[in-house]
Amino acid sequence: MTISDSRPERGSAASVVRARNLLKRFGTKTVIDDLDLDMPRGGCYGLLGPNGAGKTTLLRMLLGHVLPDAGTLEVLGEPVPAAARSVRARIGIVPQDDNLDPDFTVMENLRIYAGYFPQPARRPLTPWLESLLEFVSLHERATDRIQSLSGGMRRRLVIARALVNDPELLILDEPTTGLDPQVRHLIWAKLRELIKKGSTILLTTHYMEEAERLCDRLAIVDQGRILAEDTPKTLIAQRVEPSVIELRIRGAGHRASADDVPAEPTGLPEAISRHARIERIDETWHCHTHHPQRVLEHLPRYPEIEYLHRPANLEDVFLNLTGRELRD
Amino acid sequence: MNPTSIPRRSIPRRWHIPRLHPAAAFAVWRRNALVWRRLFVSSLVFHFGEPLLYLIGIGYGLGRFIDGMEGMDGISYLSFFASGLVASSTMMSTSYEATYSAYTRMVPQKTYDGIIATPVEVDDIVAGEMLWCATKGCMAGASLLIVATLIGAFAGFEALLCIPILLLIGLAFSGLALAITATAPSYDYFSYYMTLFITPMFILCGVFYPISSMPAFVQGLIQVLPLTHAVALVRPIVTGAALENPILHIAILIAFAFVGFYVAAILIRRRFIL
Ligand SMILES: Nc1ncnc2c1ncn2[C@@H]1O[C@H](COP(=O)(O)OP(=O)(O)O)[C@@H](O)[C@H]1O
Ligand SMILES: [Mg+2]
């Protein structure tokens, strides 16, 4: 055993989260539906799903705050909810809504929070907390009130707070929702830094970019079920055709009136459909295909068509699996 | 699905006997104490100014007309009233803290949401809150006790011996109030609790006059209210009289504290453990 792996590993250490047949109903609504999950140690694991998919509910189950109606759950090798208290000592949480303590300053928030853990992660405490503030670039705001912080600063402070117990698993629920692109990129950089240092991260998101940039593995969740689970690359390779050609009639969407419908390009859909899976969304045809050349060679005969040829991405996988209807 | 996954009724799972972690409960107490330390000047005026006004206005003002009447246990009205007021202001201050202030922490401020993400359990929060609200009540009662002693209302500084009793009084009232807070849909709810439960006790339970002056059937009702037992303990201690049935009064207050704690714990679990 070397110094670097001196951290105690309890139970079956292979998975940090292991769920079998998890079920949760709120009233008559099934929010977690017979869900199985194995999350490996190390790296970043993403739960990608639309609003109401059950992501937050699942995370709250890991903490023992939502009691499953059926199934078994182990976090860091310990059974939850039975050992939830001991599990919470070993994980850090960044909740979807900030719940910083408004009665205290930035530094006091960390100090008070550290006091809720049975043993402090590091001694002496003050330099450790200062290093956390420095990590999220808030060391100059240490004595400021929470009310004076911007949304991005608060979010960074919540991340620092989630690290006070030097957690074995860091859980983030939509860490960048509602933030500026600048802040989002800063937070991604910080999370990558943690991953590089060997942290294990579980995050939920509905941003494809976030999932694609950060996550080593992804589970696509909808209606309390995992629809697919793999690396982002494999998901794209296995779940959709590699190329997408988006077609639209020039000037469509700028019509003077609703009656002024542009003519369907005669014969084109039929010609393409032998080589591509076509989805029509408003004025645009999305042609998912293994043979982009065979689609493209038809296009010169239709000068009224403009097109965009791009590789398939996670969003295509996501929409293919979860459908296109609106969720609220 | 495997055979273990038969859905169970989820309600009884939240009725288990509380498991307490004293250090965690103390951390919650400490958090509130640190906030208080910052704001204590204004809270002192609020919790201490009003009882002081009662003490002077009624104790002195009304006392002159009442002194020497029968049933006053042979003490001045100022002593009689001040001792009752020590008990009732402990009740008041505890009840305000455990309703309005605790609700602020629990709902709009989401303080508990932050805390339960740590190893602190909901039960620890309830215990820490109860202890804090009792501390607050105890401080209100004790400051009145000191002032009343200084102006000569009480026998002497032996009166300070009743401070542990004030803490017990605080615990008896904080559990009840937290149970109310757990079910509150909004702040408005608390004025019902204050008007229908706390204020009647203030008026009926022997703070202003001996309970014996009430009709018999009202006395029976008054005997089940916790403030009656609080006054029955505080008054003899601070005026140097002999305690009657102290074990009974203490046992009743302890029972209120434990039942209040258990009910509050179950109700607050329901808010945070789904
Ligand atoms: N306390 C609750 N009571 C009833 N239904 C709830 C509760 N919390 C969440 N839900 C429902 O459960 C579903 C999943 O919610 P949630 O886990 O918050 O989804 P997500 O985080 O993926 O957006 C939603 O339909 C939501 O309305
Ligand atoms: Mg959510």
Q: Are B160 and B167 in contact (CB under 8 A)?
A: no
**Which residues on A lie below 8 Å from B2 (Cβ)?**
20-21
Q: How confident is the model at residue A131 (pLDDT cuts 50, 70, 90)?
A: very high
Helix and strand numbers (H, E) in chain A are 11, 14
Whether B123 contacts chain A with CB within 8 A: no
Please state the φ and ψ torsions of residue B105, each to the nearest 5 degrees.
-70, -40
d(CA B25, CA A166): 22
pLDDT at B19: 83
d(CA B172, CA B192): 19
Q: DSSP of B193-225, one letter per residue?
A: HIIIIIHHHHHHSSSSS-GGGS-HHHHHHHHTS
Query: Would you call B265 exposed, middle or buried from its count of C-beta atoms within 10 A (0-12, 13-18, 19+)?
Result: buried
Q: Are B274 and B190 in contact (CB under 8 A)?
A: no
Q: DSSP of A54-102, one letter per residue?
A: SHHHHHHHHTTSS--SEEEEEETTEETTTTHHHHHTTEEEE-SS----T
A56 pocket-lining for ligand 1 (C-beta < 6 Å): yes
d(CA A41, CA A76): 9
Tell me the CA distances in angstroms from A167 to A86, A90, A241, B44, one per residue in order.
12, 5, 40, 41
**Which residues on A lie below 8 Å from B13 (Cβ)?**
67
Ligand at shortest distance from the CA of A58: 1
d(CA B89, CA B170): 10
Tell me the CA distances in angstroms from B22 to A85, A113, A167, B119, one per residue in order.
14, 16, 23, 12
Residues A273-326: pLDDT tens digits? 787 888 887 778 888 888 888 877 877 887 778 888 888 888 888 888 887 666
Tell me the CA distances in angstroms from B28 to A81, A114, A123, B98, one per residue in order.
22, 12, 22, 14
**Which residues on B lie below 8 Å from A76 (Cβ)?**
none
Q: Are A146 and A104 in contact (CB under 8 A)?
A: yes
d(CA A43, CA A235): 17
Give the residue, out of A24, A26, A35, A60, with the most ligand 1 atoms within 8 A of its beta carbon, to mutate for a pocket test: A26
Query: Would you call B33 exposed, middle or buried from its count of C-beta atoms within 10 A (0-12, 13-18, 19+)?
Result: middle
DSSP A35: E
Q: How many CA atoms lie within 13 A of B126 on its CB side?
A: 30
Q: What SS3 class is residue A168?
A: coil
pLDDT at A10: 43
Record: contact B24-A21, CB cut-off 8 A:
no
d(CA B159, CA B148): 10
Whether B115 contacts chain A with CB within 8 A: yes
- Per-residue pLDDT of chain B (274 residues), as tens digits, is 344 444 444 445 678 888 888 999 999 999 999 998 887 777 666 666 777 787 788 777 777 777 666 666 678 888 888 899 999 999 999 999 999 999 999 999 999 999 999 999 999 999 999 999 999 999 989 888 888 888 877 877 778 888 999 999 999 999 999 999 999 998 988 999 988 989 988 888 888 788 888 888 888 888 888 999 989 999 988 888 878 888 999 999 999 999 999 999 999 999 999 8
Q: Are A241 and A68 in contact (CB under 8 A)?
A: no
Measure the CA angle with vertex B163, ends B162 and B166; round to 5°: 95
Tokens 């300053």 appear where?
Answer: A105
